[in-house]
Structures are given as C-alpha cells and as structure tokens.
Structure 1
Amino acid sequence: MLQKILTFFERYSFGVCTYLGEKFNVSIGKIRLFFIYSSFLAVGFPLIFYIFAGIVLDIRKFVKRVHTRVTDL
C-alpha cells in the first residue's frame, strides 16, 4: 500500500526535488524531507514555493519542446 502511494506521487509530481537535487548535487530524499519539515514549521509556505516552481519547470519544458519542434522544420 505504501509503495503504491509513493509510486503515485513520484509519477505525478512536478519533479522539483529531482531538478533541485541534480542542479545542486544533493540527495533527492534530503530535499523532500526539507520541504516536508519546513512546511510544518512555516505553515505551508514551502508548498506554495514547490507548486510555483513546478509550474515554472513545466512551462520551461513546454517552451523547450515547442522550440525544438520549430527548429526541426
């Protein structure tokens, strides 16, 4: 049951923790724990940052995809 929940969130998450982990060469698990613990301490502000960063990353992926399609022509 727990594995199904973890798989669901890993599949449908924005990829913010993965992006930050690769960018700063830090363990993804540590970044996830940071977001969880800081959300409890800061009353949800890191969750707002996480959602905003996820939207920005999705827009960047979309722009890169459209740009490569245009240049392939």
Structure 2
Amino acid sequence: MSPIIQLKYFFEKHGFHVSSRLADKLGMRASNVRLFFIYISFVTAGLGFGIYLTLAFWLKLKDLIRGKRTSVFDL
C-alpha cells in the first residue's frame, strides 16, 4: 500500500474518533458535532472576509474624502 493511502486510513481511523468522543462527553450525536464544526469554519472564514472588505472600503472612503493634492499651491 502506498504511504498516501496509509496516511489517509490513519486520519480516518483516528480523526473521526475525536468528534465521537466529544459527542459522547456532551451527550449528543456525533453527526451534530461534525456539522457544528463545519458551520463554525464557514462563519470564521466569512468573518475574516467581511473584515477585509470593511477595511478596504474604509481606506477607499478615506482617500475620497481627503483628496490628493498635486502641489503646494492647491491649498
């Protein structure tokens, strides 16, 4: 068997066990725990993108309000 397939089997065997142990500790189903992690990953990625867009808009607005002067005589 190739090392990549062995690595895949290792992560499938031990990786899914984490969410099932957490589900057992919290008293819920493992599929709900996995779904929660998927939703949280989308929220955090979307939040970072939203902050990026807000800062980009803020910088563009600052440049529009302030205006660029080409020389000292434009005061």
Q: TM-score, normalised by structure 2?
A: 0.43
Bigger Rg, structure 1 or 2: 2
Q: TM-score, normalised by structure 1?
A: 0.44
The structure whose RCO (Cα within 8 Å, separation 6+) is larger is: 1
